[in-house]
Structure 1
């Protein structure tokens, strides 16, 4: 499938502020699961400088820095992405040690995956949930991942919470509801309690063909030897295929934040507005357009 994504983020300040360097992770990944065909970023007011690089966890990041004082900051991104994974289960788990729970990665792999195995603020409630689902799945790893995804989606209510970091697994279970990022963190903790490496993913999803308007989304990926990182969306209760577009992934949610930055201003408050549209489009062969994914456009607004 081909998607065009238009994402506008506006910060309005109650008075003049100085902007600290801003880290932007709005450029979609380009890998074996999705192909970036076009991307542009418009920043207003224009930054004094910009650099692009690959972060510690392999995410593309754009650092912007500013001079003077501003009353607003607007970032507008546009991307065209082809999603490639039509079957989320087109894999074979190559390591026998990962076929049944709890899993055990070989030492060299486990060392590389250490940040994705480490539990923070361990929750006995999520351990109990994971153990129960693992038992119902007969200890089979893949069956567990599917069952856990479906269980979280069906047993917890969904809520919209546009701002703020994810809640802890214990908080989400106690409340009986959560935003997509809360459910992703709960899923990750359950997986890690069974020895599975998991990471947080931020990105977009297609809600429906007739519903192009969307909002930023979050899910989780689990590492299986022979399959690599595989996505599971506990908000929707499904394995991730070609209706999701990933921006960034990290062992900690903070490392996958699409826009990260602060400001300085005495007594100044800020307001956030977003406008996001994800819609299917024809492929470049149908539109006779060039591939411009390698270039990042900067236009003044």
Structure 2
């Protein structure tokens, strides 16, 4: 499958501002099923300079900086991707552990995974603990079965809403409201799995499913680290495990680290952001 993806972002300002360096997380991440045939950036106004760097989570990042006062910033990314069929379950679980084990990962891996296991106790309500206990018991402590059941439960009982605000609801707020954006649902499920001692990370990117209504193209989901399988993508808003229809752009221990555009400006102007993503199947 070949896809043409065009991602347009426009920032407009009520008066001129000085743009601080901006960081663009818009390169597809390396995955065995993704080949980048073409990618181009059209940035207006013309940056004084650009650099391709890696952030703290090893996400490929384009840094841009400017010299003059500006009243807008327009970023257009055009890419052509080749996506091969991908089955996320073609791995051998090793070592064979389940959720009854006090340590799911070897010591050295637990140390490396610490940022992806961290949560505050107030993020988990008693209702959430009860649900998770029932899920684990029903799956007889099996990690994949628990993950599958929780994924289906959230997809069935939480409404997915389009919410363009960059802030993410807390896990308990999303749980109590029984609805949320893709970012809200992913963060809630991440915290629930961390409570079960499973490492999780937040993912932003694109999803392609012509049967879904608009609003899923720029998307968010999560990945959970499975012994033997590594990072496995899980999407609670669609109720799916991530396959070749998902194109990740950035990962992080929290949602705030995965925004497609990061940056600030000097000045007292009010800013407005518009963003569109179009995905076209080429063959």
SS of the residue aligned with 2:197? coil
Q: What is aligned with 1:174?
A: 176
SS of the residue aligned with 1:96? coil
2-structure distance, mates of 1:128, 1:41 = 48
Moved more, 254-263 or 180-189: 254-263
Equivalent residue for 2:202, pick from 197, 200, 209: 200
2-structure distance, mates of 1:183, 1:81 = 27
Residues 25 and 256 in structure 1, CA contact (< 8 A), matched pair in contact too: yes
Q: What is aligned with 1:272?
A: 273
Per-residue deviation at 1:130?
2.2
Q: What is aligned with 1:291?
A: none
Per-residue deviation at 1:166?
1.3
Residues 158 and 177 in structure 1, CA contact (< 8 A), matched pair in contact too: yes
Moved more, 101-110 or 46-55: 101-110
1:115-167 CA distances to partner (integer Å, 9 max, x unpaired)? Answer: 11111453224333322222222211001111111111111111111122211
Q: What is aligned with 1:110?
A: 110
2:20 aligned with 1:20? yes
- Relative to 1, partners in 2 of residues 1:263 and 1:215: Cα closer, same or farther, differing over 3 Å? farther
Residues 99 and 136 in structure 2, CA contact (< 8 A), matched pair in contact too: no
Moved more, 122-131 or 228-237: 122-131
Matches within 5 A, 1:109-258: 109-120=109-120, 121-124=122-125, 125-208=127-210, 215-258=217-260
Residues 33 and 86 in structure 2, CA contact (< 8 A), matched pair in contact too: no
SS of the residue aligned with 2:97? helix
1-structure distance, mates of 2:271, 2:29 = 30
TM-align CA RMSD: 1.9
Residues 160 and 179 in structure 1, CA contact (< 8 A), matched pair in contact too: yes
Moved more, 239-248 or 79-88: 79-88
1-structure distance, mates of 2:169, 2:216 = 22
1-structure distance, mates of 2:282, 2:106 = 43
- Relative to 1, partners in 2 of residues 1:128 and 1:31: Cα closer, same or farther, differing over 3 Å? same
1-structure distance, mates of 2:281, 2:215 = 11
Moved more, 132-141 or 247-256: 132-141
Q: What is aligned with 1:44?
A: 44
1:25-53 CA distances to partner (integer Å, 9 max, x unpaired)? Answer: 00111231422221111110011111111
Per-residue deviation at 1:83?
2.5
Unaligned runs of 5+ residues in structure 2 are: none
SS of the residue aligned with 1:275? strand
- Relative to 1, partners in 2 of residues 1:214 and 1:109: Cα closer, same or farther, differing over 3 Å? closer
Please, what TM-score do these two structures have when normalized by structure 2? 0.93
- Relative to 1, partners in 2 of residues 1:226 and 1:8: Cα closer, same or farther, differing over 3 Å? same
Residues 98 and 105 in structure 1, CA contact (< 8 A), matched pair in contact too: no
- Relative to 1, partners in 2 of residues 1:19 and 1:8: Cα closer, same or farther, differing over 3 Å? same
Please, what TM-score do these two structures have when normalized by structure 1? 0.88
Residues 204 and 216 in structure 1, CA contact (< 8 A), matched pair in contact too: yes
Q: What is aligned with 1:95?
A: 95
Residues 214 and 277 in structure 1, CA contact (< 8 A), matched pair in contact too: no
Unaligned runs of 5+ residues in structure 1 are: 283-301
Per-residue deviation at 1:2?
1.9
Aligned length: 281
